[in-house]
Chains A and B, each alone.
Chain A
Amino acid sequence: MITRIIVAFGAVVAIVVAAWMGGSVPGLQPLFGVVLPYVAFAIFLIGFIAKVVKWAKSPVPFRIPTTAGQQITLPWIKWAKIENPSTTGGVITRMFLEICCFRSLFRNMRSDLRSGWIIHHPTKWLWLLALGFHYSFLIIALRHMRLFVQPVPGFVETLDAVDGMFQIGIPPIYLTDLIILLAVSGLLIRRLCLPKMRFMSLVADYFPLFLILGIVISGLLMRFVYRVDITAVKALANGIASFHPVVPKGIGTIFFVHVALVSTLLAYFPFSKLMHMGGVFMSPTRNLANTSRMEYHENPWRKPPKFHPYEEYEDMYREYMKEAGLPLERE
């Protein structure tokens, strides 16, 4: 199991080393600063869409929501409209809570055995770490828009201002930078230290964590330690976004490490578990209304069943049935 951790960590280190070496050779900078992000983004976009299309091609033959509350039933029984939705509005709300608030993780319980009793108690750690990680990642990604778009959109300015409002240090550290660092580390430590987690974890689980940690650290290093030339970074990012790429001189090698790690994440995304981002929208146990007895749900590949018809049954057991006084179709 240690092998899996070493392989994942080694892969990220290899990317860092390659980018560091490549990025410090001026002739290779266009490759690492321009070609790589373009290719990675194209793989991400096409791969993501292709995967979603591939999923969508498989039908949903049965209506199988996991019902997490009281069904719609007799009018005087209070119905759990969101936890067990039977309307489109209810499903949308349920999906919103699932996707934006991680509803199911919030439900998490820990079960332990203690002196003859199985104890279940709520645990919110995973929920908290996951929420912290995903939201700070989202905000950080949006904040990066300021590098790509001129003029900077208003909401990005606002986000930037709010995120940086604590004004700690120079340049001020963003709140989300701290949160993501803590959350990713937390998720990683959890996976490394809990025996159950270590047992189930694959290279594909450690790799994205190390990769994202690498992205966060390289980003922080760029801002606080190596102090890359932000004007040059903006010029490069703007160039990429407007399809007129340029590689200004003197950006600093750490920048290319950051870009290489982000590019790896993008290119890796569609082929990995990270596709849960798309999949969560399409999960049939969550996105279907519990209307199974109320409305007909069609299965596109349904075939008429071969069953034992009544006539054959009666033929088989006619004598018994007659004797028992059961009504018969044919005497």
Chain B
Amino acid sequence: MLFFSFFKTLTNQTVTIELKNDIRIRGILKSVDQYLNIKLDDIEVLDLDKYPHLSSVKSMFIRGSVVRYVMLPRSEVDVGLLEDATRRGE
């Protein structure tokens, strides 16, 4: 539940998500569930030239299993707290 707990704190922050098919999407994280499925609003696809079919997409639901990276705003992460939360796991 750590990651779920963690990502919950990032709601309404702008994150960049890189999918396993190399598509990178920047958008506002609207919600996340325990499978780390992600809902993004106001999205913007980086390298839009390569994925023109996404040019009119405004929001997305991303299945958690296809996410490779989530790039976060550093200021929104409380590292110490996160460390402690990690220590609590189990």
Q: Tell whether A pairs with B.
A: no
Q: Which residues of A contact B (CB under 8 A)?
A: none
